[in-house]
Amino acid sequence: MAVSRIDTFKQMLESDPENALVRFGLANEYLKAEQYGEAIAALEDYLQRADDEGAAFGMLARALEKVGRREDARRAYERGITAAASHGHPSMAEDYRMTLASDYED
């Protein structure tokens, strides 16, 4: 029986629980598998441990959107704008600003 990528990341995390990149990879695999609740938990855990440059906030926002948590998604995009700008990623920050302007202006 083949081991899933999610299982592989979980095993890697068991052997190195402080590895932020493994946590990010696990969250990404949950997103690919459309396991949004697990992705949200993994991304929130990752973001508590890592100085993310913005990408994880966008991933978190999209997962939150999928489960109907729009206000939390809005906050994740806002945090992503701050992180992306402070790490020198103006185009990512602008993408998040555009998403907020087009999808979140009520």
pLDDT tens-place string over residues 9-65: 999 999 999 999 999 999 999 999 999 999 999 999 999 999 999 999 999 999 999
Looking at residue 102, its pLDDT comes to 95
Looking at residue 106, its pLDDT comes to 66
pLDDT at 2 over 90: no
33-68 as b/e: b if 16+ CB within 10 A: eebbebbbebbebbbeeeebebbbbbbbbbbbbeee
Looking at residue 74, its pLDDT comes to 97
Structure tokens at 53: 């440059």
Range of the domain at 56: 5-103
From first CA to last CA, the distance across the chain in angstroms is: 49
pTM: 0.92
pLDDT at 76 over 60: yes
Which residues have CB under 8 Å from 75's CB, separation 6+?
Answer: none
Q: Please report, for the domain that includes residue 77, its CATH number.
A: 1.25.40.10
CA distance 3 to 14: 15
pLDDT at 101 over 90: yes
Number of domains into which the chain is organized:
1
Looking at residue 3, its pLDDT comes to 61
Looking at residue 105, its pLDDT comes to 81
